[in-house]
Amino acid sequence: MDETQIPIIQGRIYSIRGQAVMLDSDLADLYGVTTTALNQAVPRNIVRFQEDFSFVLNNQEFMSLISQIVTSKTGRGGRRKSPRVFTEH
């Protein structure tokens, strides 16, 4: 990773449940894959990861996140489910 990418990544890190996390959509974008492909890969490879590697936001966490960042509204092409977030582990 070159140094020009560091601010881009730092702007995509949020604090949830006391952990530094990245949204599934942001991580997928960094890896150049779709969010769907990334989320499908997690349960298929669950034995490779620690239990706290990722988690799905509950409704309250999702609503709090929406108020903090610009995300599209549901019903207008936005997310239909709460996002999965990935910890720094």
- Please give the average per-residue pLDDT across 3-25, as a whole number: 81
Q: Check: CB of residue 84 under 8 Å from CB of residue 24.
A: yes
Among 14-18, 27-31, 75-79, 81-85, the least confident range? 75-79
3-state secondary structure of 8: helix
Q: What is the model's pLDDT at position 43?
A: 85
pLDDT higher than 60, residue 1? no
Residue 58: the pLDDT is 92
Residues 6+ apart with CB under 8 A from 73: none
What's the pLDDT score for residue 64? Answer: 82
Predicted local distance difference test score (pLDDT) of residue 85: 93
Mean pLDDT to the nearest integer, 31-46: 89
User: Residue ranges per domain, the chain?
Assistant: 3-87
> With pLDDT > 70 as the criterion, what percentage of the chain qualifies?
75
Short-list 47, 43, 63, 45, CA closest to 55: 43
pTM summary value: 0.73
